[in-house]
Amino acid sequence: MRSKKEGFEMDHIKHQKKNRIITRVNEITTEGGLPKTGQTMSYQFGDDGTYQMGYPLGGGQRFIDNGDGTITDMVTGLMWVKDFQIAGFGMTMYWYDAINACENLVFAGHDDWRMPNINELMSIVDHSRYDPAWDPMIFGYPVDQWTPFWSSTICAPWTDGAWCLYPYDGYKTNYGRPWDMCYVRPVRGGQA
Partner 1 sequence: MAKPTIEFKDGKKIVTYPSGEKREHTKANLTTAKQMFLKRREKIDEQIALIDDHIKKIG
Give the binding site for partner 1 (CB under 8 A): 41-45, 131, 146, 158, 160-161, 166, 168-169, 171, 173-176, 179
Question: Is 155 or 187 the residue whose CB approaches partner 1 more closely?
Answer: 155
**Nearest Cα to Cα of residue 143 among 102, 171, 184:** 184
Q: How far is the CB of 34 from partner 1 (least distance, A)?
A: 24
Contact 84, 183 (CB under 8 A): yes
Q: Is 183 helix (H, G, I), strand (E, B) or coil?
A: strand
Angle at 148 between CA 143 and CA 152, to 5 degrees: 120
Q: Is the peptide bond before 56 cis (omega within 30 degrees of 0)?
A: yes
| Torsion angles phi and psi, residue 182, rounded to 5 | -135, 175
Q: How far is the CB of 109 from partner 1 (least distance, A)?
A: 38
Question: Is 71 or 118 the residue whose CB approaches partner 1 more closely?
Answer: 118
Question: Is 161 or 186 the residue whose CB approaches partner 1 more closely?
Answer: 161
Q: How far is the CB of 158 from partner 1 (least distance, A)?
A: 8
Q: How far is the CB of 181 from partner 1 (least distance, A)?
A: 12
Rounded CA gap, 36 and 99, in Å? Answer: 28
Q: Considering all CA atoms of the chain, what is the largest pairwise distance in Å, rounded to the nearest integer? A: 69
Question: Is 113 or 166 the residue whose CB approaches partner 1 more closely?
Answer: 166
